[in-house]
Amino acid sequence: MKPGYQKYIPFQPQKIIGRTWPDHVITKAPIWCSVDLRDGNQALIDPMNLEEKLEYFHTLVDIGVKEIEIGFPSASETEYEICRELIEGGHIPEDVTIQVLVQAREHLIKKTFEAIRGAKNVILHFYNSTSTLQRKVVFHMETDGITKIATDAADLIYEMSQPLIAEGMNLRFEYSPESFMGTEMDYAVEICQAVLEHLHATPEQKVILNLPTTVENCMPNQFADMLEYFCKKLPSRDCAIISLHPHNDRGCGVATAEMGLLAGADRVEATLFGNGERTGNVDIVTLAMNMWTQGINPELDFSHINDIREMYERCTKMPVGDRQPYAGKLVFTAFSGSHQDAINKGSQYMKQSGTEYWEIPYLPIDPADVGREYEPIIRINSQSGKGGAAYIMEHNFGYDLPKSMHPEFGAVVQKETDAVGKEIDPARILELFQQEYIEAKTPYQLIKHFFDESTDQNGHSHVTFRGTLRHTDTVFEVAGEGNGPIDAFFNAIKDEKMSHFTFLDYKSHAITDGSDSQGVAYILLQDQRDGKKYWGVGLSHNINLAPLRAILSAINRSKRKPS
Name all domains of the chain by residue range, CATH numbers in brackets: 18-316 (3.20.20.70), 337-438 (1.10.287.1400), 444-559 (3.30.160.270)
pLDDT of 6 reads 87
Q: What are phi and psi of 112, to 5 degrees?
A: -65, -40
Q: Which amino acid is residue 207, in one-letter code? A: V
Q: Hey, how many other C-beta atoms are within 10 angstroms of the C-beta on 223?
A: 28
CA–CA separation, 193 vs 197, rounded Å? 6
Cβ proximity of 50 and 80 under 8 Å: no
CA–CA separation, 99 vs 70, rounded Å? 6
Distance of CA 554 to the CA centre of its chain: 43
Q: Which helix (H) or strand (E) holds 213?
A: strand 207-213
Burial of 83: CB neighbours in 10 Å, binned 0-12, 13-18, 19+: buried
CA–CA separation, 175 vs 158, rounded Å? 12
CA-based nearest residue to 265, from 293, 294, 234, 296: 234
CA–CA separation, 389 vs 518, rounded Å? 21
Cβ proximity of 300 and 284 under 8 Å: yes
CA–CA separation, 165 vs 240, rounded Å? 19
Instruction: Name residue 555's beta-bridge partners.
Output: none
Burial of 346: CB neighbours in 10 Å, binned 0-12, 13-18, 19+: middle
User: Burial letters for 92-111: b for 16+ Cβ neighbours within 10 Å, e otherwise?
Assistant: beeebbbbbbbbbbeebbee
Cβ proximity of 344 and 387 under 8 Å: yes
Q: Which amino acid is residue 200, in one-letter code? A: H
Q: 28 in helix, strand or coil?
A: coil
HSE-up of residue 277 (Cα within 13 Å, Cβ side): 11
CA–CA separation, 560 vs 121, rounded Å? 76
Q: Which helix (H) or strand (E) holds 56?
A: helix 50-63
pLDDT of 382 reads 62
Burial of 18: CB neighbours in 10 Å, binned 0-12, 13-18, 19+: exposed
CA–CA separation, 245 vs 208, rounded Å? 12
91 — alpha (psi -120 to 50), left (phi > 0) or beta?
Answer: alpha
pLDDT of 221 reads 96
Q: Go through the chain and tell me how many residues it has.
A: 563
For the stretch 447-455, contacts whose Cβ atoms lie closer than 8 Å and that sit 24 or more positions apart, written own/partner, are 447/475, 449/489, 449/545, 449/548, 451/485, 451/488, 451/544, 453/485
Q: 252 in helix, strand or coil?
A: coil
Distance of CA 506 to the CA centre of its chain: 39
Residues of the chain with pLDDT under 50: none
CA–CA separation, 270 vs 280, rounded Å? 10
pLDDT of 472 reads 86
Q: Hey, how many other C-beta atoms are within 10 angstroms of the C-beta on 530?
A: 8
Strand ranges (E), 371-460: 444-455
